[in-house]
Structures are given as C-alpha cells and as structure tokens.
Chain A
C-alpha cells in the first residue's frame, strides 16, 4: 500500500484545470477529496489553499496504485476553474467549498450552497467567522414573531453571544 498522503504538488490557480486534466489522463481516476484551508491567522497571501487529493485506483483489483495532493493557492476572486466534468464528484465538493469558505470557481458563477441554506450570510469555516454568531430560520433571534402558532417562549435560546 502506498503512502496515504501522496506527493504534494503546488499548481498555480490559473492553470488548475490543465494540470488536473493532465493528471486524470495519467491515470488518477478518483477524486478522493477536494477541500480548502484558510491561512488567515498566518497572514498569508493568497489566503486560501484549495486542495485536490487524487488516487489511481485499479478498478479490477480495487487497489491503490498511488496518490497525489494538488495545492492551489487562491484568494476570494474566482480564478480556479471547475473540474466537475473531469471527476463528477467535484460538483458537490466545489459547492461545499463555496458554502463553507466562499471560494468561487470562475466557470460556475451561479454556484449554490450545498449544506447551508440560501438565507445564510457569510461562510462559517472561515477563520474570521464569529464563533458565536447564529442565524436561525425560526425561533428566537430569527426575527420570527413570538406569537406565531408554535413559538415557544418558555426557554429562550442560549448561545453564549
């Protein structure tokens, strides 16, 4: 079994699609994970790293033939291009990155949130998202009317705000 982390490659964000398509052609047929890291506290510029983790999977043997980790340093501006037609798994993962980190993809201008609701303001996994901030849709602190049929006013929400 090969190293689970794999070799790390840093790729300029502007050419992510070319580099990743090339890796796909080399036999990296599986997108294991697509995620993001916010380096705000390190004061780094560009602020985010979008990370593609790829694996060459032998479909007949179910065997791991090697892995690679591609890092693309980006800011908020949509520079990266989508790879959802290269690996269909990227579709939801790109939406999750938009949802949690607010990093957009240049060719997906109308990207929608995946896990949170459209009314949500901000991106909660950014290091500058206030840890005690709550945005409920109903109930206390939601702007909901306390006299609506099933609003329970007996116990207000405790959030530490």
Chain B
C-alpha cells in the first residue's frame, strides 16, 4: 500500500500477496483425476469440449501427483485401493485441495458393504463434496467455481 500522500503511478495496481496468489492459483488448477468407477464417464463429459472445464482454467490433467494441486477422486473407493489413494494424497505438494466427486466418494453411496470406504473423508481431508450419482456437469462446474472461491479466500494457503 502507498503511504499517505503518496500517489501510485499509472498502470500499477496494489494488492495483497495472498490475494494475488489465490487469484493466480484458482485459474490454473492442475487436477489429478483419481478415476475408479462410472463417475469417470461423467468426468470425461465435463472435461470434454461440450462443457469444457478449460474455460475455468482447469483443463489440464496431470497424471503425476507431484505436478498436481487438486486431487479429484472420481468413483467408488474400495478398502483395497484406499492406501493407494492416501499415498497419492501424501505425494502431492502443498498447496493442495481434494474434491470428492460423486456420492460414493462423499459417503460410500449405496455401497455399505465389506468392500467400500464409507466416504473418502475417513482417510484423507476433503475440501469440496460434489454429490450426485453421477453428478450432472452443471453440478461439477458449480463445484469447481466454489472451489475457486475457496482457493481465493484462503489465498492459496492450506486451511
């Protein structure tokens, strides 16, 4: 911020570092799609040209957790694959966010049995829940904009 009485030269904008970082980060989401089940089809449809996630700066999936900052968990997670999911989460660098895509990842959905994790928030922290079986592309896009708001508000930092 300029001191009192000082004038800011034309073409210069003042802001806070956190706000600037949040603004930059929310429009360059590199997601890691952890796709395990049928919700993957809906994810493909929302990522493809018709609904076009790239409009929101989230069009570039990275299949390495080291390069990704949003973990999209798409589809039913079984107890067998749960340690893999947590390992991928641990491998991601901060700042990172997790999206539970579809009702199975939120709560287990209608799979309450010996095989299924009852919501991925029992094994990793989750920032955003997108319900639906599967969620409509509009729901996903609304979820993504809510996530962008969250990234902006937290200035890109973690919680």
The yes or no verdict on A and B being binding partners is yes
Q: B83 on the interface (CB 8 Å rule)?
A: yes
By beta carbon, the residue of chain B nearest A148 is B86
B83 interface neighbour in A115, A133, A137, A157, Cβ under 8 Å: A137
State whether B122 touches A150 (Cβ < 8 A). no
Chain B contacts of A136 at CB under 8 A?
79, 82, 117
Chain B contacts of A149 at CB under 8 A?
90
B79 interface neighbour in A117, A131, A152, Cβ under 8 Å: A117
Chain B contacts of A131 at CB under 8 A?
113
Binary contact readout B104-136 vs A (1 if CB under 8 angstroms, 0 otherwise): 000000001111011101111110000000000
Binding site for A on B (CB under 8 A): 79-80, 82-83, 86, 89-90, 112-115, 117-119, 121-126
- Number of inter-chain CB pairs below 8 Å: 59
A138 interface neighbour in B83, B113, B121, B125, Cβ under 8 Å: B83
State whether B112 touches A159 (Cβ < 8 A). yes
State whether B125 touches A155 (Cβ < 8 A). no
Q: A116 on the interface (CB 8 Å rule)?
A: yes
Binary contact readout A131-142 vs B (1 if CB under 8 angstroms, 0 otherwise): 101111111100
Q: A43 on the interface (CB 8 Å rule)?
A: no
Chain A contacts of B79 at CB under 8 A?
117, 134-137
Looking at chain B's contact residues, is the secondary structure mostly helix, strand, loop, or mixed? loop
- Bound complex: CA A139 to CA B118 (Å): 10
B118 interface neighbour in A116, A137, A157, Cβ under 8 Å: A157
Q: A62 on the interface (CB 8 Å rule)?
A: no
Name 12 interchain pairs, CB-CB below 8 A, sorted by A: A124-B115, A136-B82, A136-B117, A138-B123, A139-B82, A150-B124, A151-B123, A152-B122, A152-B125, A152-B126, A155-B121, A157-B118
Chain B contacts of A143 at CB under 8 A?
none
By beta carbon, the residue of chain A nearest B79 is A136
Binary contact readout A6-30 vs B (1 if CB under 8 angstroms, 0 otherwise): 0000000000000000000000000
- Bound complex: CA A156 to CA B107 (Å): 11
Size category of the A interface is: 20 to 34
A152 interface neighbour in B82, B115, B121, Cβ under 8 Å: B121
Chain A contacts of B126 at CB under 8 A?
152
Q: A160 on the interface (CB 8 Å rule)?
A: yes
Q: Beyond A150-B90, A155-B119, is A137–B112 a contact (Cβ under 8 Å)?
A: no
Chain B contacts of A150 at CB under 8 A?
86, 89-90, 123-125
Q: A129 on the interface (CB 8 Å rule)?
A: yes
B121 interface neighbour in A116, A137, A154, A160, Cβ under 8 Å: A154
Q: Beyond A116-B80, A117-B80, A150-B86, is A140–B122 a contact (Cβ under 8 Å)?
A: yes
